[in-house]
Amino acid sequence: MSVALDLSPSREPVAGAFWMVAAGLAFAGVNTLEQIVTTRAGLSAPTAAFFQYFFAFLVILPWAGRQGVAALRTRHPWLQAIRVVFAALGVQAWVAGLAHAVPIGAAVALVMTSPFFVTLGARLVLGERVTAARWVAVTVGFAGAVIILDPCSGLFTPASLLPLAASLLWAAASLCQKRLLADESPETNTAWLLFLLAPVNLLLALPSGIGFPVGPALPMIVAVGVFTALAQGFLALAYSRADAAYVQPFDHIKLPLNIVASWLVFGWLPPGTLWIGAMLIVGASLFLMVRESREG
């Protein structure tokens, strides 16, 4: 999950692109290690999700300390809390998908449908107008997801839907944030997410039981947390160096990066249908981004 800190762009496009690609590399490390620790090192998905953000929080603790409790002052505490719950549930669904050995490349491609869920939610929840062109983009994007899932094939399992569930939940969190930004500062929204994501994931992990990771699982989950914090920091640097409309397309590089990582570690090579579906999703997502930047 991406949480970019709000910093004024200094318009250094090459640096912005570099840090966005660096974030993609860090997220590839997160996903690969997370799948190893849940499928090979015996750590349950809820426990892995909690410790991922617990160790990530320890890494960003200096930033959190500088923000202090004052950063949590908000006019909408319940909406902030709901946003964090949606985000945490998305994390749980995402890690559960990796724990069920959903191929990382396919999972990343499916989670890239989040902008389409945001568009639908903006119309249904926020009452925003959605143009015919956007409806076409949403339809094409979801068609790409269906092609990747390939529900009629023998390889399809219910676990394949978990990345799509994560995409939906993170879109719900984004819609909450969109509403909150009308009254709250980006720093407040970021602080709520960073302060509460680990505790909420802890509550979600308790019913299935939670224990401190031991053996090889410990250094791996610590590395997952460190890479998570680094990825968020790289995203912040990317958005601080160049306009979001410029750096956002470089975010799509995370798909081939994750596919390469999955191939090197797990020997998974994507079928042709994944590339077709991914091209539809990426193309529709870029189209939506261009339309929104022009209309904005």
Whole-angstrom CA distances from 294 to 88, 90, 240, 241, 289 are 32, 30, 21, 21, 9
Which pLDDT score is estimated for 8?
A: 45
Does residue 77 fall inside a structural domain?
A: yes
| Backbone CA torsion sign across 164, 167, 173, 176 | negative
Residue with tokens 């970019």: 4
Question: What's the token pair of residue 43?
Answer: 């750590």
Predicted TM-score of the model (pTM): 0.91
Q: Which of 2, 47, 56 is nearest to 173 (CA)?
A: 2
Lowest mean pLDDT among 157-166, 197-206, 247-256: 247-256
Does residue 5 fall inside a structural domain?
A: no
Q: Which of 39, 49, 41, 33 is nearest to 203 (CA)?
A: 49
Which pLDDT score is estimated for 71?
A: 75
Q: Which of 278, 291, 290 is nearest to 112 (CA)?
A: 278
Does residue 165 fall inside a structural domain?
A: yes
Q: Which of 15, 4, 272 is nearest to 147 (CA)?
A: 272
For residue 7, what is the DSSP state?
Answer: -
Does residue 32 fall inside a structural domain?
A: yes
Q: Please write the tens of the pLDDT for every residue from 108-122.
A: 999 999 999 999 998
Neighbours of 199 (CB within 10 A): 15
DSSP labels, 228-286: HHHHHHHHHHHHHHS-HHHHGGGGGGHHHHHHHHHHHHH-----HHHHHHHHHHHHHHH
Q: Please write the tens of the pLDDT for every residue from 237-264.
A: 888 888 877 888 899 999 999 999 999 9
Does residue 6 fall inside a structural domain?
A: no
Inter-helix orientation angle 13-39/217-241, to 10° = 160
Q: Which helix (H) or strand (E) is 116 found in, with range?
A: helix 114-124
Surface-to-core class of residue 280, CB atoms within 10 Å of its CB (0-12 exposed, 13-18 middle, 19+ buried): buried
Q: Are residues 179 and 110 in contact, defined by beta-carbon separation less than 8 angstroms? A: no
Give the separation between CA 105 and CA 258, rounded to whole angstroms: 6
Which pLDDT score is estimated for 296?
A: 56
Domain that holds residue 234: 13-295
Does residue 7 fall inside a structural domain?
A: no
pLDDT of 205 higher than 50: yes
Count of domains forming the chain: 1
